Every structure is written in C-alpha cells, then in structure tokens.
Structure 1
Amino acid sequence: MTRITEESSKYRHLEKMSVEELTSNLNKEDKTVALAIKKALPELNTLIKAIVSKIENDGRLFYVGAGSGGRLSVLDVIELPTTFGVSPDLFNVILAGGKEHLIEALEEKEDDVNAAWLMLKEKKVSAKDIVIGISASGTTPFVLSGLKECRKQGITTACIVSNPGSIIAAESDIPVEVITGPEFVTGSTRMKCGTAQKMIFDMISTSTMIKLGKVLDNQMVNVKLINDKIVDRAVKMLMNNTGITVYHEAKQLLIEHGSVKRALDHFNQIGK
C-alpha cells in the first residue's frame, strides 16, 4: 500500500514562515478536505444505509479507534443522547486505552492486538451490530485485530482510512477511503485526516438520526431538556409547530410530555 499520510509535506521551512503565511497555507490545505470526502461519498452513503438498517433491526454501531481519530469519535458519540434523545448504547466507541483515559493520549495502546476484541465482547457485540474501524494510516494494530475478529464472528465491518489499499480496508465489508494527502506538518494526521474524520462522524451521526426519524423538518424535536437554553429552544419549536402563541402554555405542554416530539404528538392527537 502507499502510505500517503506519511509523505513529506508540500511545504518546506515552516519555521521561517510568518503567521500570515502559516494560516494561509493551513487554510489552503483544509479546503482540500471536503473535496476528498466528496470523492468517497458513494462508499459513505453505503455505510450510512447499512448503519440505519442495523439500528432499525435492534443493532448498534461501534467505532474502534486509537489516537486522534478514536478520540474524535468519542466527542461525536457523547453528543447524540442529548441532541437526538437516543440511548447512549446506540453509538459506542471502543478506544485504545479506554474512554476513561481519553485525555491522556495513550498512543502506545494502538499496538495492542488483543484489547479491541476483548472490549467489544464486554459490550456483547453481535451480528446485529456494525463495527467501524478508524485509522488514518489504515494499519493500526488495535483496529485491525478488532475488525479481523469481528469478521470471523460474522459481524459487519467497515472503516474510515486515509491511505488507499490498506490492510484495514481489506478487513472491511464497507471500506471508506478518504485520501487527504500529505499533512502540512509531515505525518501529523491529527490535521487533515482528523478534520476529515470529524466531518465524516458528523455526516454519519446526523444522517443516521434523520433517517431514524429523530428530526422533524430541520429541528431536533427529540432533544433532551437538560438546561434553560435547550428548554427555551424547545418551547419555541413547539410554538412554531403548533401555533400556540403564549410562551408559558407551550412550556407547560413541553414539560408535561418531556420532549417536543411527544408534546407535538399529544397536541395533534387531541386535534387542536
């Protein structure tokens, strides 16, 4: 395989650049990320459809990752229960070193070839689920070993990688290869690769939740009412969708039913 992610930066003598030159060149490289993702949209679309199908049939999603990619998947997943009102067990992350050590950057754990499958087994992973490996290089041992064991067990596998023809892609039923090219700082895949991964996580989670009916029009009607800002937003959503004009009446209906979606269902059932 060609390890494009390890190729030398197109830019030389970064230490001699002004701040203006650095930010301009970084911005120029960042602009290429969305275009790289665009090329992988067919495979990404296939993956999202598979995720939706699994969840509709009582399955779950598992990300398996290490380093920046693994940590970014955690950041995406922890937002979903609040934003979309879903169970925290629907989207999961198997992180090298464990999520409890998220901020410690235990990069050496990515070489552990036994931990991923043991952690998946603890979560009772099964053929109902889908497991997605996250690896910029496409070679991370922690991720690779986890996917290999999943395939042995008949569990659907996928991956998000940034090098073509990787060994992790070969162990994936649905490989998504997003080729972002050499990094601005040679080999620093927290940069363009990380940006691509974050964008893809957003696309996967948001598209999946929309297809699962967690969004009405363009509104997060299943959002959990965890603070005053969200309650205020939810009240206004309810007013916009029902025609209720008195704020405290809409708020009372919202609090009574616990979400915009349930309040709307009640409102429509009683025919008002």
Structure 2
Amino acid sequence: MKKYGFLLFLLLLTFWIGGCGHKYDYTIHKPKVQYKKPDRKALSRILQKQLGKPYIWAEEGPDAFDCSGLVYYSYASMNMQDIPRVARRQAKVGKKVPVDQLKYGDLIFFDTTPRKTGQITHVGIYIGDGKFEHASNEKEGVKISSLSKPYYRSRVRICRRWLPEEPVEGAAAFKPLKPIRLASASKTECKKCYSLPQKVTAKSGDWFIQVGSFRGIPDPNWLAHITALGYDYHSVRGEDGMKKLLVGPFVSREDALEVLPNARHEFNPGAFIKHMPKG
C-alpha cells in the first residue's frame, strides 16, 4: 500500500511540475507595431500599460517580461524591431549618455551581481525625476524604482539613448534648401545666381559630426542642404540597423568642434561629434 502511495505522489508531482510550473518560451517574439515612430509620448503609453505585469525570465511580453524583454517589447512596439534582445547587447547600442544627463526613455544598465563584477545583468527605462521602470524580479514584477537608492545608484554601469533627439525649444526649425542645379546654367550665370559655398570639410580625416539617423534613403532635400553649405556627407550602418548620416570628414576634433555649433543650427540641434578611426 505504501508503494502505491509513493507512486501516486510521484505522479502528482510530475503533473504539478509539467502543468503548473512556468513554461519558458525561448523563441523571440516580435511584438505588433503600435506606433510608426518612436517618441516619448508613444513610449509613455506603452510603459504605463506594463506596470504590475509579472516577471518571467526569457519573456518579452505581452503578458510577462524579464528586464531586457520589457525594453525589447517597448521599443519594438515603436517600429524599432532590429534592436538586440538581451541586456548585454542592448548596452552596446545607441548614444552613450552620463547619468546626470538622462532623459525620458534612456536605458540604464546595471551590474546586480553580489560582488559587482562589472557585468551587465539588468536594465531599466528612465522615466524622469530620478526614476526608472523595469521588470524587477519574480516577486515584484514590472515596477518603478528610484536611482536615489544606493543599491541602484552604485550599480549603474552605462546609460544609452535610443529615442531620437527631440528639437531644442526655441531652436531654429530646419528648412531644407532646393538643390543647386549647375547643369542648367553656365559658370558665369551661376556666379550671378548663386553664392557658391567655400569647401568646409576635408578630403580625409577620422572626425565626423552625426546629424541624423534614417532607414532606407535620406531626404534628398536634406542632402542638398548639406552640400549647399559646403559640407560633404557619408552614411554608415550602426549596430542597431539604422543608418547614421555623418557630415565630414574633419582632420581633427578641434576642426569638428569649430563646425559643431553651425551643424546644430543648420541640420539638427542634437548633432554630436563622432570619431571613426580607419581600421
């Protein structure tokens, strides 16, 4: 009788483990695109809906998340579906920003190992006022925490910006010029019609100014505006799958710094210097 009782116990235990335990799905499911362009308003709506949902390792929603799964779901829902899935790879993508310059939507990567070994083991999404939303753990699920807590503050490893830079309030609006078509007039007529720009960028160099990101091909009017002002441009593909539009090259960082204020005025208030050594 004891033997049958023990066998019944094993049968019930097997049923409980198979039927009631977590069933992890290790395949990556891309969420449905809810917003065509990523911005703060769209991200805010997405994050508000996830609060309180459970934490399950290897899940990226929509019903449960792990920490990097919440990031993946939130941004992929805004049509950024080429982003990495795991935190250590997410930490290598986007613009690096200091903790004291965090903006809404920036990603904060932490080392939560007991001895702080320097690994990237956790990620949260900054929501302003020193707070961030994250899929915390199995006990607390998706919640809001504060960077003012010593535990989190002391474990920040790196911060990254994925949201496109919003225009600076009061900055001049970008107005692309019409392309200059020299073929339609003689050189003499062109001198009368156009004030041809002096060449600003160099033939070679390692320094550039990044003025935007795009998919497909950039607006030709935008490119015409760049060349009309005497700049050269190049495009490179980033790790996130987006193409980066660069003005340059410049021989030195000092040369790029000298042009940066004008690039921010003419092309993008969020333009920044990018060093790209060859090889």
TM-score, normalised by the number of residues in structure 1: 0.30
Is the helix fraction higher in 1 or 2? 1
Please identify which structure carries the higher strand content: 2
Bigger RCO (CA 8 Å, 6+ sep): 1
Query: TM-score, normalised to structure 2's length?
Result: 0.30
Flag the structure with larger Rg.
2
